[in-house]
Amino acid sequence: MVQMKEITAAVVEKTVELGRMLLNFGLVKRVTQHEDGVTYESDSTHTVMLGVMACAFAKEYVPDLDLGKVAQFALVHDLVEVYAGDTNTFGKIEHNPDKEEREREALARIKTEFDSVYPWLGDTITEYEQLASREARYIKVFDKILPKVTHLLNAGSAVRAQGQTKEMASAFIGAQIEKLAHSYATDQSEAMTLLKEMHAEFERKVFP
């Protein structure tokens, strides 16, 4: 039997601090919108959507993936945004060093604040960002599918609010798919197929 670690006052304190951080994470707004085309999606809503959808899809279409790892990476994939903020990348395919620097600083802060009691947080974020496992790469690809879901549900209101035309949006998504296919998505054929189908549905329904 594994001996239980002592639950100290420091654990209680860090648990409360973690709760505060996660509540603040739920206040981070994305540029994507709910079905009403008015309410902005929060990072928390996005995270839950990714975790549920990615696990459900993997169970049926990529059954050799470790669902526990898939769920863990989904939970932490955007957690740095609690300090770094969300960065709108729609229509922008180029490298963004400012975003990367802010997210590096955010991860360092999370590790400083929680490694003493909850090192799983920083360790799992780091493992996800290294993209060394198929599960991490799978979540990275599946994350690109979710904006298409919200765009379809709100008839492209967020896309139009950013001044995107059909040609601009299609060119960006096409370039995004091409970039993924030649980088971390080389072994993610199932998720990439879904991404392409979502792109086609986006073009049919949002910009008929």
Per-residue pLDDT tens listing for the chain (208 residues): 778 899 999 999 999 999 999 999 999 999 999 999 999 999 999 999 999 999 999 999 999 999 999 999 999 999 999 999 877 665 455 666 888 999 999 999 999 999 999 999 999 999 999 999 999 999 999 999 999 999 999 999 988 888 888 788 888 888 889 999 999 999 999 999 999 999 999 888 887 6
H-type helices in the chain, by residue range? 9-25, 43-61, 67-76, 81-84, 97-114, 119-130, 134-142, 146-153, 157-161, 166-181, 189-205
| CATH numbers and ranges of domains, the chain | 9-205 (1.10.3210.10)
The label of the residue with tokens 């009691």 reads 117
